[in-house]
């Protein structure tokens, strides 16, 4: 287990905006940062990060919390894995305590698969650099490709020995279970036989966005016609090739910084470009680009440039997959290398400056590039030209931005020598046809169906009151303000209840604590029940909440609850409400009244609950006691009338 001193050091050192910035492109928004949700598919930012409070909130999914909660949600880390990740990021030495057998057995299957993959990474690297076979075959291959040792280590490249069970034997000897070797696909098991999947291959580890090893790609070096040239890990609980981009871990910071992502085809394309100094490069590893992969890029930048080999025959087929990128609302450019060249060979034979100049000068807007290509193909063939125009309109229809659609229609009309009216009419037909599809598809979406089957939930008044009290304590509990203190008295002449007030100066948390004690109010929501004493203790000990240290002391569940409360009002800044002349009142400017109203509302709520209890008792009591109960109910109604009067309400 990780020692508490290490955990404390991690929380003290890590900065939430830096950690999340590795996964999401964040933009300044007042004292906070905002960005696109990494948990849902959206085009308007609903994700908020508060550097001051060291908490985050995703308004589209409802998730939120501290830095650990983010890593657990986004990367599916366990708590210890999140601590280890942050310790590595900030160069904090991890102090361990001994684990007992029960704790060791508690490791999940997913974690075991990650451990096996991590062991495989080390094994393949050691085989490459430390064995005669690895140096002679694997290292020679990498150096022939022009990779430096620094690059090889940066991408953690390796070599799997040309022996049937070299890796499997080493893993079993190290204590790893055969079951997990098989589940990761590193070992193939057939009846009583077991052997290495990647025997005799140079190894390319495939990382998650945070750097965990998910799987491997292996390239064979021998001239074996029966064996596949490239082989990838099979799909598993930790590896889904449609949700991974090769090079994203190494290139994510550069992608966010350059605000552009280059998409190439293979592993070596990524590595060679990266080595040349162009680091904002990823690869879909030879598979068709998927919506999940596009979303990974869009978290970091809305701009993507697809790099094609200088192969005219393959270019036409490659263009078809780009419509998915347009549909995601991204800005797409394309760049084709000279005949016979690919990103790997071009980067190997040119300097960084030459590569950057070539990409800058030759990258063209996708729609215009596709239009020019199709027009040349159609030449003087009227039927082909009509098909070309329809295909272009199909691509334009994928773009969600109507303004961009119109700009592209006008550009294509001039390029294809056809009237804008015809293109606009065709676009309207295609858009109308596409609009009918989602309506039919939405019925089948799991989230839609579940939502339709769930009963409508009504917000509990008690819950809302408790939530507001916790929110006030978190935001303003330390402030000292002047309150109007209501005092309940009986009129000497009429005997009726009346309420007078006096002014009292007090800190907010003390005022709330005394009022709740006086009314014997207990919280009914479990999370608020746990948070209330923790907040009071923090305020009484520190005077003012040290929010980052307070949040870090909470469980992930409570940290999420706190982030919900603290950043709830920040959602208005995400969509620039003030620019739309919608102004949200600043409750801090009327803090005494806000506290006063919440306490009075709580008292009215308690009276309602008490009256309901008394009314239920009247049904089961004899006449004399029944009369007493009715008198008590009348008194409570009088008290509520007084309290409601102070709230400027009529009951």
Q: What is the CATH number for 380?
A: 1.20.50
199 pLDDT more than 70: yes
pLDDT tens digit sequence for 108-126: 788 889 999 999 999 999 9
Number of other residues whose CB lies within 10 A of the CB of residue 435: 10
Residue 469 has what pLDDT? 87
CB 24 within 8 A of CB 47: yes
Domain match, 90 and 8 both: yes
pLDDT tens digit sequence for 229-243: 889 999 999 999 999
Residue 107 has what pLDDT? 59
- What is the total count of domains within the chain? 4
Domain match, 640 and 509 both: yes
Residue at 262 is within a domain: no
- In whole angstroms, what is the distance from residue 14 CA to residue 29 CA? 21
Q: Averaged over 529-554, what is the pLDDT? A: 81
Between residues 227 and 133, the one the model is more confident about: 133
260 pLDDT more than 90: yes
Mean residue pLDDT across the chain: 81
Domain match, 481 and 613 both: yes
Residue at 343 is within a domain: no
Domain-ending residue, one of 239, 263, 297: 239
Domain match, 558 and 627 both: yes
Q: Which residues pair with 158 in a beta bridge?
A: 203
Per mean pLDDT, which range of 122-136, 561-575, 579-593 is the poorest? 579-593
Q: pLDDT band for position 349 (50/70/90)?
A: very high
Domain match, 112 and 222 both: yes
Domain-ending residue, one of 105, 122, 154: 105
Residue 401's closest CA among 326, 469, 345?
326
Residue at 329 is within a domain: no
Residue 187 has what pLDDT? 97
Residue 167 has what pLDDT? 97
Residue 119 has what pLDDT? 95
23 pLDDT more than 50: yes
Residue 426: domain span? 367-442
- In whole angstroms, what is the distance from residue 330 CA to residue 260 CA? 11
Residue 334's closest CA among 300, 301, 305?
305
Residue 565 has what pLDDT? 82
pTM (predicted TM-score): 0.69
Residue 51's closest CA among 71, 73, 26, 33?
33
CA end-to-end span of the chain: 59
- Helix%, strand%, coil% for the chain, nearest 5: 55, 15, 30
- In whole angstroms, what is the distance from residue 438 CA to residue 444 CA? 10
Domain-ending residue, one of 239, 262, 289: 239
Q: pLDDT band for position 332 (50/70/90)?
A: very high
Instruction: Name the DSSP letter for residue 246.
Output: B
Residue at 473 is within a domain: yes
Of all residues in the chain, what percent carry a pLDDT higher than 90?
32
Domain match, 528 and 632 both: yes
Domain match, 482 and 631 both: yes
Domain at 181, CATH number: 3.90.980.10
Domain match, 120 and 194 both: yes
- In whole angstroms, what is the distance from residue 137 CA to residue 275 CA? 21
Helix (H, G, I), strand (E, B), or coil: what is residue 360?
Answer: helix
Residue at 37 is within a domain: yes
Domain match, 90 and 124 both: no
Residue 450 has what pLDDT? 36
CB 371 within 8 A of CB 400: no
Domain at 10, CATH number: 3.90.580.10
Q: What separation in angstroms does the CA of 460 have from each of 525, 597, 605, 649? A: 11, 17, 11, 20
Residue at 280 is within a domain: no
Of all residues in the chain, what percent carry a pLDDT higher than 70?
79
- In whole angstroms, what is the distance from residue 550 CA to residue 562 CA? 10
Between residues 291 and 570, the one the model is more confident about: 291
- In whole angstroms, what is the distance from residue 331 CA to residue 326 CA? 7
Domain match, 568 and 486 both: yes
Domain match, 41 and 128 both: no
**Residues contacting 574, CB < 8 A, separation 6+:** 29, 34, 44, 45, 46, 48, 59
Domain match, 187 and 79 both: no
């Amino acid at each position: 287990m990780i020692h508490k001193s290490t955990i404390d050091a991690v929380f003290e050192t890590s900065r939430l905006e830096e950690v999340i910035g590795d996964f999401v492109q964040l933009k300044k928004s007042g004292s906070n940062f905002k960005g696109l949700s990494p948990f849902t598919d959206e085009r308007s930012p609903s994700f908020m990060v508060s550097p001051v409070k060291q908490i985050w909130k995703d308004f589209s999914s409802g998730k939120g919390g501290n830095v650990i909660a983010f890593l657990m949600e986004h990367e599916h880390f366990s708590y210890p894995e999140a601590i280890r990740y942050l310790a590595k990021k900030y160069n904090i030495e991890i102090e361990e305590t001994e684990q007992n057998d029960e704790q060791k057995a508690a490791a999940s299957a997913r974690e075991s698969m990650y451990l096996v993959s991590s062991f495989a990474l080390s094994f393949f690297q050691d085989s490459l650099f430390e064995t005669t076979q690895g140096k002679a075959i694997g290292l020679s291959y990498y150096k022939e490709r022009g990779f430096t040792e620094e690059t090889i280590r940066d991408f953690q490249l390796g070599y799997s020995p040309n022996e049937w069970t070299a890796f499997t034997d080493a893993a079993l000897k190290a204590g790893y279970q055969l079951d997990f070797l098989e589940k990761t696909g590193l070992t193939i098991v057939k009846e009583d036989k077991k052997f290495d999947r990647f025997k005799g291959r140079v190894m390319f580890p495939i990382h998650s966005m945070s750097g965990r090893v998910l799987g491997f790609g292996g390239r064979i070096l021998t001239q074996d016609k029966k064996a596949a040239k490239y082989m990838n890990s099979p799909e598993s609980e930790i590896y889904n090739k449609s949700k991974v981009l090769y090079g994203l871990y190494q290139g994510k910071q550069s992608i966010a910084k350059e605000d552009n992502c280059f998409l190439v085809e293979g592993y070596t394309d990524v590595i060679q470009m990266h080595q040349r100094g162009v680091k904002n490069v990823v690869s879909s590893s030879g598979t068709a680009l998927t919506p999940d992969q596009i979303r990974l890029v869009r978290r970091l930048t809305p701009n993507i440039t697809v790099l094609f080999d200088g192969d005219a025959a393959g270019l036409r087929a490659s263009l078809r997959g780009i419509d998915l990128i347009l549909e995601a609302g991204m800005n797409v450019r394309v760049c084709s290398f000279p005949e016979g060249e690919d990103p790997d060979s071009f980067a190997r034979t040119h300097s960084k400056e030459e590569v950057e100049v070539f990409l800058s000068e030759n990258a063209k807007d996708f729609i215009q590039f596709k239009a020019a290509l199709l027009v040349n193909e159609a030449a003087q063939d009227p039927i082909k030209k009509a098909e070309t125009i329809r295909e272009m309109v199909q691509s334009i229809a994928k773009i969600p931005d109507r303004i961009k659609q119109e700009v592209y229609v006008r550009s294509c009309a001039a390029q294809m020598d056809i009237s804008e009216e015809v293109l606009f009419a065709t676009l309207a037909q295609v858009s109308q046809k596409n609009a009918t599809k989602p309506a039919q598809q939405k019925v089948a979406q799991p989230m839609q169906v579940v939502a339709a089957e769930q009963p409508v939930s009504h917000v509990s008044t008690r819950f809302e009151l408790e939530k507001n009290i916790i929110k006030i304590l978190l935001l303003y509990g330390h402030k000292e303000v002047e309150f109007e203190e209501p005092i309940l008295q009986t009129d000497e002449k009429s005997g009726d209840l009346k309420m007078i007030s006096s002014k009292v100066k007090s800190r907010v948390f003390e005022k709330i604590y005394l009022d709740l004690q006086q009314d014997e109010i207990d919280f009914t929501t479990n999370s608020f029940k746990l948070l209330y004493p923790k907040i009071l203790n923090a305020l009484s000990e520190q005077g003012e909440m040290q929010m980052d240290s307070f949040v870090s002391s909470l469980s992930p569940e409570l940290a999420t609850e706190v982030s919900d409360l603290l950043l709830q009002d920040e959602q208005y800044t995400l969509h620039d409400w003030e620019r739309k002349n919608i102004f949200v009142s600043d409750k801090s400017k009327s803090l005494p009244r806000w506290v006063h109203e919440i306490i009075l509302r709580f008292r009215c709520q308690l009276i309602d609950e008490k009256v309901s209890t008394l009314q239920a008792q009247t049904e089961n009591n004899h006449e004399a006691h029944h009369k007493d109960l009715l008198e008590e109910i009348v008194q409570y109604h009088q008290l509520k009338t007084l309290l409601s009067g102070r709230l400027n309400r009529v009951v």
